Chains A and B, each alone.
Chain A
Amino acid sequence: MMTATNESNTQKFPAWYDGVRAKEVLDAYNNGGGSSLAADEFVAKSILPASTGASRDFSYIAPELPQLNSENCVGCMDCVTNCPDTAILGKVVMPDTLEDALAGIQDEEYKAHVRQQFSETRKYHTAFQKKHEKDPENNPAGGMFGIFIDPTKCKGCGECVAVCGDHDALKMVKKTPDNLPQYLSDFGFYRSLPASPLTHINAKDKRDIMLKPAAIRQYAGGAGSCMGCGEASVLRQVFAMTHEKVGDRYGIVASTGCNTVYGSTYPYNPFAAPWTNSLFENGPADAMGIRAFWDQQGQEDWVIWNVGGDGAMLDIGLNALSRLLASGMNVKVLILDTQVYSNTGGQQSTASYTAQESKMGAHGSRKGGKSEKRKEIAQIALMHPNTYVAQTIGPLTTHFYKVVERALAYNGPAVISVYTTCQPEHGVADDMAAIQARNAMKSRAFPLMIYDPEAGATLAQRISLEGNPAPNRDWVIEKDADGNDQEYNFLSWARTEGRFRKHFDKDGNPNSQSILHAMQDRLDNWRLIQQLAGIPNEDFMKSLATPV
């Protein structure tokens, strides 16, 4: 039996794993000696033990690491939720337990430093303490809350700092041989503490799921994804919520794409659940087979997820996906929509936006990027019988977890399409996964949408556009500093992404017809789903009333 070293990922593997051999392989890879290993039984069987990613040491990668100012931390858990690498974790600990643990530290200076990593937040301390003081018998005392960085998982993307924002509780600092050891020691202390008490995990605040070791363990980190990968944080959240709802009774079929490359780089596996990789085109068929088998075995309550990118689900595997949805089988589909074939170098997909430049699809300055319009998988999927469909973004935690919970509860096929930032292919900074996803939503490039077949008898009742700003307008109208109206439209967002850079002059003005066509396409798509949702668009109505 092998036990992973990371507290958050502590897990005993089934007896049929050769734990000794697995450890030998992991140690060899961690020490750069992988190529000298003898032939491997795991490889022969195409098997990776679960959660081996927990053992991966990335501490040589990050040029910078987050530094906590605990005084400013409120325990919102946004940093923990949005981290793509399970590299920043939160902990609630009761004061006496903390003191007991601190008593084991001899060095007074280091003890003071560790104590500083905790604070008395209103969420985990004051709110509890007040009730405790009134009725100590029935209310637990306030807990101390701390944030800890695992330097062996952190790639230094800075996403945690970006989402922390004006809380100003995190900042990036240069990693050197002088401060790295302290991060390792601090994380060792974190691992030595017991799990956060369930009494202090807030059921109203879904972000608190990530305080549960079992939830964190569903995606252990140590995956080969890029710094700040928007996909990985979505995978973490989906599987944390899945585990929350059904425990270990779920499995994953991954259609080939970036997620299968960074998610199964031998010998590192970030997933705790049974996971299998099929080709681009037949993940849904594979998932259907597993579903049928589980149903035969009386495991109807098990959840099967089919995960794929836009290349797999909109292009190469669309036939199989359509077949799956038409079958009515209880399979959950997660589409990680980066609008490009990220793992093969950047070919355009049918999800790519008009005018989008993709690395492998570049045709020189005279060409205007992609000429076709974007395919909308959500609209296609909802026309299949009794299929639950949602389009969402990861950083919008409330909306995101709501649709994942509903998809899990829905007894039939469910598709969740998620906009996921791909830094190298979108041409945006490492820490901008959340910001760019939000702005894509706001710009109508990727509107939020829910289609719930059980929400009513009409399309309008079944389709919800809740969460989109200005749902009855073409574009979002904002005020600038002088109080003047400013339209936030597709161009406002596109000019912030490298993939559209050629369509703007140095002052940010559009200079191509292609980008204007892209904008019209996004407006047409938005108006279409407004109509499906039965939401009158006042700008559209005005344009109809205006004589040509």
Chain B
Amino acid sequence: MTSVKMLEHSSTTESLQNAVLHALSEPQTMSEQLRTQLADYYACLTDEQIQAFFTEGLAKLEEYEQDLLFSPQFTLKAEQRLAFASPFALNAYSKEAIEASALAIEALNLQVIFRLPSGLDVEIPLNAVIAERFMKSLHLHKPLPQNMRDFIESDVPRDFQAQVALALRDDIFQFEKYQVLFKEVVTCFTKKTAWTPSQVDFLTFFIKTYTPQTLDDLFGKLDRLIQSCQEDMATAETRSYHHPQILGSNMGSSHDHHEAQAVKDNYSQIIKNAQALNDLLK
């Protein structure tokens, strides 16, 4: 993982803007969801129809329509966000600065290139709608409290600093009690040198979702989560199940088959994460 400290010298809005420009200058593989939307709403079923629409039809769309159409393509998922935003994770960016940056990108009159499966390259203007969606999906405009930034720099191993800094931009960590709780748990992690990315993800997710007020409360809520998973595992054979897209986004586990076993595996992973957290803290 990239070290945050090493890249601090380039941590300005301009460098973020340049990184975004660089990412968007790469030819994009069109996502299935974008293709589906082009077919559903604009009757673009072939590469040629897409090319014609991008050339003639796109400019007629209002900004909100472009946002609806392109946002699935330009929204970074958690892993992509971590990879891209790590160099900027400890910096402060206001919402206004991000929006201004998106407008500055638009003013450059550049194009985003989609490389379609047929080999055809089609272009769309790199406008503020796309740039802003990409940048806001990084969540860097959400504030990282100064005391938490100090804590990260002093107490979190360098390799995990970016991940923790990004996680702490969630709104819930604006509240002191969750900051305190997070610090308490992370300090415990650090003492035991047992850091793994999935533990950090699980911890931040758990605090956000179940809002434990204290360490004792956290233990109790972990127990109830484990119990709830165990109950559902016991009946997994008789109930339905989700497909991998959901399993993959749920608490750090992933599976690629549609069996009742997948439910058990999913909940087993949650239990494992919860028990690991329990064990670390006790």
Residues of A within 8 A of B (CB): 63-64, 67, 71-72, 74-76, 109, 112-113, 116, 121-123, 126-127, 157-158, 161-162, 165-168, 171-179, 182, 226-228, 396-399, 423-424, 428-432, 435, 438, 466-471, 478-480, 483
Q: Contact between B249 and A171 (Cβ–Cβ < 8 Å)?
A: yes
Cα(A127)–Cα(B40), bound, Å: 23
Contact of A469 among B39, B67, B73, B221 (CB under 8 A): B39
A122-B64, A122-B67, A122-B129 known; A174 and B228 CB under 8 Å? yes
Q: Contact between B240 and A430 (Cβ–Cβ < 8 Å)?
A: yes
Cα(A165)–Cα(B175), bound, Å: 30
Please name all residues of chain A whose beta carbon is closer than 8 Å to the beta carbon of B249 when the two chains form the complex. Answer: 161, 168, 171-172
Cα(A123)–Cα(B136), bound, Å: 16
Contact of A176 among B174, B221, B251 (CB under 8 A): B221
Q: Contact between B246 and A161 (Cβ–Cβ < 8 Å)?
A: yes
Q: List 27 A-B contacts (CB under 8 A).
A: A63-B228, A72-B71, A72-B75, A75-B68, A112-B174, A122-B63, A122-B67, A157-B240, A158-B246, A165-B72, A165-B245, A168-B137, A171-B250, A172-B246, A172-B250, A174-B267, A178-B225, A179-B209, A179-B210, A430-B240, A430-B241, A431-B242, A432-B243, A466-B43, A470-B45, A479-B117, A479-B119
A74-B71, A121-B64 known; A162 and B246 CB under 8 Å? yes
Please name all residues of chain B whose beta carbon is closer than 8 Å to the beta carbon of A112 when the two chains form the complex. Answer: 171, 174-175
Please name all residues of chain B whose beta carbon is closer than 8 Å to the beta carbon of A399 when the two chains form the complex. Answer: 40
Please name all residues of chain B whose beta carbon is closer than 8 Å to the beta carbon of A116 when the two chains form the complex. Answer: 171
Instruction: Tell yes or no: B146 within 8 A of A by CB.
Output: no
Cα(A74)–Cα(B117), bound, Å: 27
Please name all residues of chain B whose beta carbon is closer than 8 Å to the beta carbon of A127 when the two chains form the complex. Answer: 62-64
User: Which residues B1-46 have CB closer than 8 A to chain A?
Assistant: 31, 33, 36, 39-41, 43, 45-46
Q: Contact between A168 and B210 (Cβ–Cβ < 8 Å)?
A: no
Task: Report, nearest first, the 6 A-B pairs whose CB atoms are least far apart.
Answer: A479-B117, A166-B72, A122-B64, A123-B64, A430-B240, A122-B67
User: Which residues B170-205 have CB closer than 8 A to chain A?
Assistant: 171-172, 174-175, 205
Q: Contact between A64 and B250 (Cβ–Cβ < 8 Å)?
A: yes
Q: How many B residues touch the partner, as a band?
A: 35 or more
Cα(A483)–Cα(B115), bound, Å: 11
Contact of B209 among A67, A162, A478 (CB under 8 A): A67
Q: Contact between A174 and B243 (Cβ–Cβ < 8 Å)?
A: no
Q: Contact between A430 and B174 (Cβ–Cβ < 8 Å)?
A: no
Contact of A173 among B63, B117, B211, B250 (CB under 8 A): B250
A127-B62, A167-B71, A167-B72 known; A109 and B175 CB under 8 Å? yes
The distance from the CB of A325 to the nearest CB of chain B, in whole angstroms, is 30
The distance from the CB of A67 to the nearest CB of chain B, in whole angstroms, is 7
Instruction: Tell yes or no: B232 within 8 A of A by CB.
Output: yes
The distance from the CB of B214 to the nearest CB of chain A, in whole angstroms, is 13
Q: Contact between B239 and A74 (Cβ–Cβ < 8 Å)?
A: no
Q: Contact between B224 and A178 (Cβ–Cβ < 8 Å)?
A: yes
Q: Contact between B229 and A174 (Cβ–Cβ < 8 Å)?
A: yes
Please name all residues of chain B whose beta carbon is closer than 8 Å to the beta carbon of A162 when the two chains form the complex. Answer: 243, 245-246
Q: Contact between A430 and B242 (Cβ–Cβ < 8 Å)?
A: yes
Q: Contact between A396 and B258 (Cβ–Cβ < 8 Å)?
A: no
Contact of A431 among B43, B46, B246 (CB under 8 A): B246
Please name all residues of chain B whose beta carbon is closer than 8 Å to the beta carbon of A171 when the two chains form the complex. Answer: 246, 249-250
User: Which residues B102-161 have CB closer than 8 A to chain A?
Assistant: 117-119, 129, 136-137, 139, 142
Cα(A223)–Cα(B188), bound, Å: 48
Contact of A76 among B45, B68, B75, B142 (CB under 8 A): B68
Across the interface, name the chain B residue whose C-beta is closest to A466: B43
Sample of 6 further A-B pairs with CB below 8 A, known A72-B137, A429-B243: A166-B75, A173-B251, A178-B210, A470-B46, A480-B117, A483-B119
Instruction: Tell yes or no: B270 within 8 A of A by CB.
Output: yes
Instruction: Tell yes or no: B272 within 8 A of A by CB.
Output: no
Q: Contact between B240 and A123 (Cβ–Cβ < 8 Å)?
A: no
Q: Contact between B64 and A175 (Cβ–Cβ < 8 Å)?
A: no
Q: Contact between A429 and B240 (Cβ–Cβ < 8 Å)?
A: yes
